[in-house]
Structure 1
Amino acid sequence: MFTPVEAAEADRLVEWGLQEDLGDAGDITSRAVIDPTTRGEARIVARQPGVVAGLPMLEVLRRRHPEFGIAAAENDGPVERGDVVAVLLGPLVTLLGLERLILNFLSHLGAIATLTSHYADAVADSRTVICDTRKTTPGWRYLEKYAVRIGGGTNHRIGLFDQVLIKDNHLAWLGEADPTPIKTAIERARNSTPPGTVVEIEVDTLEQFELAIREAPDIILLDNMSSETMAKAVARRAELGATSLLEASGGLGLAQIPELAQLGLDRVSVGALTHSAPSLDLSMELSKGRAEATS
């Protein structure tokens, strides 16, 4: 089920999608070829194993097109090839007009959920969790992060407004006039944000890590470090009895994840979950069918 924010984003995207596909004239091909009184059934079918995500959008879409109904819909989650994930009933002209929007929506979110599930499986026997990033499609962030959760991942910060993440550019700017930029940045972040705001800092050397962990940020992001270097960081944290979470990041592929999971890292953030997931193959099979739907 979508949260209210996710439902609002879905409604906005559905509105945009309908306008760009149907315009003001609608589906002129279907209207020309098919009797508008003909009713039918549309079955959304998985053509490959994966994780489907975004099925609540069907109800969002139905509110804008009440002439069709949802006869059946599975919950978001794992599917096998040939599984029917939803059945829609209504005028064939309407179902054909909505086909591409529905498939684009579900294939995109299903792609993210499916890829995330592969990463999540790779850390299943460890303490490590898989996180997303802000590398999302503009306008789709809440729903893409929803798909990450459906796939077994964890959401990183939503945007620049809900968590501090001090990066190399921030430190470089401070370092021009401050001999202790890491200490200064963390102190300023704590002093200028509400209590409880997560403060994270990015480091790319063990020297930076040593300076950062002594300031006890909530999270230290180990950026583009080798496995050997990250293992040293994990060991140093244990030696100090520090509580900062350790997060690995930096172009990490699926093949690297099992090794990272054995290092004792808390989190691995992966931009590819939302920017490089291959589409989940779904189809819509249409036929003349029942005249009534359940919703």
Structure 2
Amino acid sequence: MTIQFTQPQETAAKALIKLSLEEDLNQIGDLTCQALINESDQAEIQIVARQTGILAGAPIASLVFSELDSPVHCSHHLSDGDTLQPGSIIATYSGPLASILIGERTILNFMTHLSGVASLTAKYVEAIQGTNATILDTRKTLPGWRVLEKYAVTAGGGTNHRMGLYDGVLIKDNHLAAWASRNSEPSIAAAIRHARESVPDGKNIEVEVDRLDQLADALQATPEIVLLDNMSPELLRQAIQMRNQQSPSTLLEASGGITLESIRSIADTGVERISIGAITHSAIALDLGFDWKRRT
């Protein structure tokens, strides 16, 4: 599966690249390059994978060199979503040596992190092959990085949950506690009905529960999605039976403490959705290298 940046993703990347280069150069520049590299020096380097994984962030280098206003030529051999093996050549860059060295760390910071997110996502996706479940991300993202991290999730074969608080309703325990404290009808179903009357048409209503009695309450209002928090596989099976009887159109989403070791047993229960914060907040950077090829 090959994907590319959309305009919002490119805009997010440019803002983060600008900040990253400002952190590195601080209106002074690269003192090492100023000391050792001539302005006329030209070179060619390659980005090479050091381990198996999924590529994400390939467009970053071109955006970095554009921000540096440098005529570095970028030749991409692989695209986001492609599988990497140790030794896979991702891209070749040729042009002013100083610009290549200045951009190196920024490029690798982006690509190793995003490829790590994509690679971890792909492991979860592979673990549930043959089931009815879909892997989703969460809002557990680094501040400022959400658009790019969620892009990396899709590169790994996952699906994006809501992007933020603005594009979907998710009624969680604290919302329900606040609702119950000021309403004569404190049921979960009543909260769902009230939300449906208040939000724009076309927005899904999702509610989080952690007990079967709460699920039974919620299903009375036919929410589009119910998030089943930290339920065991046995409880999930009971939840599916209850849903099938009371509100067949409602999708069920498992979440909470799910690992690569446990996800198959979760998916085998029949839930349609599994959301995992770890694919963004705990992804380990994929090892990629900037390999010197030659001076040109």
CA displacement, residues 256-276 of structure 1 (integer Å, 9 cap, x when unaligned): 111111100001100001100
**Aligned partners of 1:213 and 1:242 also within 8 Å:** no
**What is the match of residue 254 of structure 2?**
248
Structure 1 residue 213: Cα displacement:
1.1
SS in 2 for 1:288: strand
Structure 1 residue 93: Cα displacement:
1.1
**What is the match of residue 110 of structure 2?**
105
**Aligned partners of 1:89 and 1:289 also within 8 Å:** no
Structure 1 residue 72: Cα displacement:
3.0
Q: Which of residues 120, 133, 144 in structure 1 aligns to 2:149? A: 144
Alignment partners' CA distance in 1, 2:43 and 2:10: 27
Which amino acid in 2 is paired with 1:23?
A: N
Instruction: Work out whether 1:123 is the aligned partner of 2:90.
Output: no
Correspondence list, 1:11-160, <5 A? 11-64=14-67, 65-76=69-80, 77-160=82-165
Which amino acid in 2 is paired with 1:150?
A: A
**Aligned partners of 1:36 and 1:91 also within 8 Å:** yes
Alignment partners' CA distance in 2, 1:162 and 1:72: 34
% identity of equivalent residues: 43
Which amino acid in 1 is paired with 2:257?
A: G
Alignment partners' CA distance in 1, 2:33 and 2:271: 54
Structure 1 residue 242: Cα displacement:
1.7
**What is the match of residue 266 of structure 2?**
260
CA displacement, residues 205-258 of structure 1 (integer Å, 9 cap, x when unaligned): 000000111211010000011111111001112233521000001121111111
Measured at CA, do residues 146 and 43 of structure 1 come closer, stay the same or move farther in structure 2, by a change above 3 Å? same
CA displacement, residues 23-80 of structure 1 (integer Å, 9 cap, x when unaligned): 2121110221122211001100100000110111223223223321103342112110
**Aligned partners of 2:70 and 2:96 also within 8 Å:** no
Q: Which runs of 5+ in 2 are unaligned?
A: none
Let me know the Cα RMSD of the aligned residues.
1.2
TM-score scaled to structure 1, two decimals?
0.95
SS in 2 for 1:254: coil
**Aligned partners of 2:222 and 2:247 also within 8 Å:** no
Alignment partners' CA distance in 2, 1:91 and 1:258: 50
Alignment partners' CA distance in 2, 1:205 and 1:134: 23
Alignment partners' CA distance in 2, 1:72 and 1:230: 45
**Aligned partners of 1:55 and 1:73 also within 8 Å:** no
Q: Which runs of 5+ in 1 are unaligned?
A: 291-295
**What is the match of residue 293 of structure 1?**
none
Alignment partners' CA distance in 2, 1:220 and 1:283: 43
Alignment partners' CA distance in 2, 1:289 and 1:6: 33
Which amino acid in 1 is paired with 2:242?
A: R
**What is the match of residue 176 of structure 2?**
171
CA displacement, residues 171-194 of structure 1 (integer Å, 9 cap, x when unaligned): 111122334331221112111111
Which amino acid in 2 is paired with 1:131?
A: L
